[in-house]
Amino acid sequence: MQNLISYIQIILAVILVALILIQQSDASAGGAFGQSDNWGAGFHTRRGSEKTIFISTIVIAILFVASAIITLLIK
């Protein structure tokens, strides 16, 4: 059972990383240091596939945390 959960965690981790990398970011090089090209553009509405990817990322993250907690409870 513990081996199965380990494989599930690996798969969830790979999917989570892929979903995070797929998400678009409007930040340029200055965005890493807190700068923004658009003044006051802190609000962004997600629509279409961007919203689907965002929600999927949250669901996969919750499943990953749940599997980690299950692993701790099994040990």
Q: What's the rounded Cα separation, in Å, for the pair 13 and 61?
A: 8
Give domain status of residue 29, yes or no.
no
Query: Around Cβ 60, how many Cβ atoms within 10 Å?
Result: 20
Mean pLDDT value of segment 53-73:
96
Q: Give 31's pLDDT tier (boundaries 50, 70, 90).
A: low
Give domain status of residue 60, yes or no.
yes
Residue 68 CA, chain-centre distance (Å), reads: 16
Contact 2, 74 (CB under 8 A): yes
Q: What does pTM read for this prediction?
A: 0.73
How far CA 33 is from CA of 17, 21, 36, 40, in Å, comes to 22, 19, 9, 16
* Count of domains for the chain: 1
What does the pLDDT read at residue 2?
Answer: 83
Structural domain of 15: 1-21+47-75
